[in-house]
Amino acid sequence: MLTAMPGKSRRVLIVNSALAALVVGGGGAAYAVIAGGPSAATSTTRTVPVSQGTVQATVTASGNVVSPATLGLNFLTSGRLTALDVSVGQRVTAGQVLATVDPTQATNQVATARAQLSSAQAQLTVAQTTLAADQQGPTGAQRAVTAAQLAQAAESVTSAQNSLTIAEQNAESDLTTFADQVSTAESNVAAAQQQLATDEGQLGAAQQAQAQACTAPTPTPTPTSTATPSPSPTPTSTGTGSGAPTGPGTSACLQAQSAVASATAKLTQDNNAVTSASNSVTAAQNSQSTGELKDQQAVSSAKIQLTSAQKADQLAQANAQVSDAPATGAALAQGQSSVASAEAQVASAQAALAADEQSLAETTLTAPTGGTVTSVSGIVGQQVSAGAGSVSAGGAASTTGAGSGASSSTSSSGLVVLTDLSGLQVVADVTESNAAALKVGQAATVTLNALPGTTVPATVSSIALTSTVISNVVEYPVTLTLVSTPAGVRIGQTANVSIVTAQATNAVYVPSAVVHTLAGRSTVTILRSTTAVVQPVTLGIVGTSDTQITSGVSVGERVVLTVASAPATTTGSSGGTGRPGGGFGGGGFGGGGFGGGG
């Protein structure tokens, strides 16, 4: 007696019978082709329902965590490092002072540049004033000034001429005066000499009288007995003329001696008078020479002043003619050229000053943007050379960074290196086939090997336009920006990314493994009642595990899923796997059966 089978077992039996019939009828050919190999793979067949929900197409890749930008900062002005104000790990803000070098030389250069600019501006003012005067011509005030200058020059000539006349008259008058003085002095000498000669004669007479008066008279000789008496000699005069006694000590002698002394004293006076008169002549002659020299110098000076005044008058007249005449075209062109040249010098001086001021400002190294100090390579007191730093962008498409001493480079280096840790990124290499589906702004998720269980949302920031070839595989670097930065994330960590390239909600979908596509035609095998039916379908989004079906099946229908298992190790004939994605490989349906599907 047959007993009723439980509902589930009965349903399984029916499904298995239907699938067996399908295999025998429709899959025999595939089985015949594939079966027979001793290592042929076995497969498991079951049914799964057509479901409704969200289907996503994703691209996966791996890469590393990077910073969006790293700035290597250096001084652009050489000098001795005087201060280093930051350390590794320190967070800095835009504009914060990082280091300084000695500004003495730069300060001196600025002072020199300012002085040169002031000089250039003064020259420009003169050139502009001159050109304006040439263009406008003389004003009434300028003509009045010119007339006054002419009158003054003429007056100076008249005054100089009068001064020369007076000097010449004085010189002529002084010639007569000096000559009279010399003549008078010479007359005095002659008179003194005449008086000396007279007094010399008187002294000679007095000396002769003295000789007579002071000489003793000759005594009378005594007569002898044998001698014949002779007559007595006639007495001679003693020179007194009076018969007075003469000889030393006599009154006559004393008077004569006094007369000689008086005559001698008078002669001394006469000699002194002659000497004095001679000195007066010499003085008068010297006075004459000095006076005549002074008069000649005065006349010569007056002539020079007159010549100078005459030249000044001629120059004033010439200037008056020039100033009253309108400027010529050549003069105006010259003036305009002078103004243009002065303006160029001012511009050059301004540029030099700006450059020197910039060099002075660059003796202080500041942060161009906020960031974290990741490297410091300097010691206070050392000499640093001017040089650009570098900026390294984390994205696949590097961009030039701007900042104090920063320039584009593939790596970052500098006295101070700043790294942006606020918006970390991941750079992953994606194969060329998958890169074609990527767009900037697509959502993604990032998992980190160093932080198991941590999932970080991200978005695609950039896709490189040029590829790299790794192991003969063409790949494109893709940059993703993390929406948030969990604790523990570090630059350089390995990251796995999953990028959503397409998504459909409330979509009808089946496992991708049940879809078979050949020559552009897609089908699924549906179990309807007890019959397996190959159903054409229209595909939507093809995800990694599920595929959207836009027409051909309905939610709740069951589709046949064949899963290949490991290759058989026994010898003999075994069931085939069928064509890729289709067929139901040979062999029994035991082992998992179809049990109603999952």
The arithmetic mean of pLDDT across residues 422-434, rounded, is: 90
Using CA atoms, how far apart are residues 441 and 443, in angstroms rounded to an integer? Answer: 6
Confidence of residue 102 (pLDDT cuts 50, 70, 90): very high
Sequence letter at residue 139: T
The arithmetic mean of pLDDT across residues 232-251, rounded, is: 60
Q: What is the DSSP string of 214-237?
A: TSPPPPPPPP-SSSPP-PPPPPPP
Using DSSP's 3-state secondary structure scheme, residue 299 falls into helix
Confidence of residue 207 (pLDDT cuts 50, 70, 90): confident
Q: 212: which residues sit within 8 A by CB, 6+ positions away?
A: 238, 239, 240, 246, 256
Sequence letter at residue 76: L
Using DSSP's 3-state secondary structure scheme, residue 5 falls into coil
Using CA atoms, how far apart are residues 208 and 260, in angstroms rounded to an integer? Answer: 9
Q: What is the DSSP string of 481-504?
A: EESS--TT--TT-EEEEEEEEEEE
Rg (CA), the chain: 70
Confidence of residue 464 (pLDDT cuts 50, 70, 90): very high
Q: 158: which residues sit within 8 A by CB, 6+ positions away?
A: none
Backbone angles phi, psi at 321, to 5 degrees: -65, -40
Q: 398: which residues sit within 8 A by CB, 6+ positions away?
A: 392, 408, 410
Report the length, in residues, of the chain: 598
The more confident residue out of 560 and 587 is 560
Q: List the one residue out of 524, 501, 512 whose CA is nearest residue 582.
A: 524
The arithmetic mean of pLDDT across residues 387-395, rounded, is: 54
pLDDT for 390: 52
Q: Tell me the percentage of the chain whose pLDDT exceeds 70.
A: 77
Q: Model confidence over 34-69: pLDDT tens digits?
A: 334 444 556 788 999 999 999 999 999 999 999 888
The arithmetic mean of pLDDT across residues 280-308, rounded, is: 90
pLDDT for 118: 95
Using DSSP's 3-state secondary structure scheme, residue 588 falls into coil
Using CA atoms, how far apart are residues 431 and 446, in angstroms rounded to an integer? Answer: 18
